[in-house]
Chain A
Amino acid sequence: SQTIHQWPATLVQPVGSPLSLECTVEGTSNPNLYWYRQAAGRGLQLLFYSVGIGQISSEVPQNLSASRPQDRQFILSSKKLLLSDSGFYLCAWSIRTGYEQYFGPGTRLTVT
Chain B
Amino acid sequence: AQSVTQLDSHVSVSEGTPVLLRCNYSSSYSPSLFWYVQHPNKGLQLLLKYTSAATLVKGINGFEAEFKKSETSFHLTKPSAHMSDAAEYFCVVRSSSNTGKLIFGQGTTLQVKP
Chain A residues packing against B (C-beta within 8 Å): 6, 32, 41-44, 46, 49, 57, 59, 88, 90, 92, 94, 96-106, 108
Contact = CB atoms under 8 A, between A and B. Distances in A.
Prevailing SS type, chain A contact patch: strand
Given A43-B107, A94-B100, A100 B43 contact: no
A103 B88 contact: no
B104 A105 contact: no
A79 B34 CA distance: 35
Contacts of B107: 42-43
Interface in B31-69: 32, 34, 36, 41-46, 49
A26 to B, nearest CB: 15
B100 A98 contact: yes
A46 B44 contact: no
A106 to B, nearest CB: 5
B106 interface: yes
A100 B99 contact: no
Contacts of A41: 88
17 contacts: A32-B100, A42-B106, A43-B106, A43-B107, A44-B104, A49-B101, A57-B99, A59-B101, A90-B44, A92-B44, A100-B46, A103-B36, A103-B43, A104-B43, A105-B42, A106-B43, A108-B41
Please give me the 10 A-B residue pairs with the lowest Cβ-Cβ distance, nearest first: A98-B100, A97-B100, A103-B43, A103-B44, A44-B104, A105-B43, A106-B43, A43-B106, A104-B43, A100-B49
Interface of B: 32, 34, 36, 41-46, 49, 88, 90, 94, 98-102, 104, 106-107
Contacts of A102: 46
Contact of A44 (B42, B46, B90, B94): B90
Contacts of A6: 43
Nearest to A106: B43
Contacts of A100: 34, 46, 49
Given A41-B88, A43-B106, A44-B104, A98 B43 contact: no
A6 B43 CA distance: 10
A90 B43 contact: yes
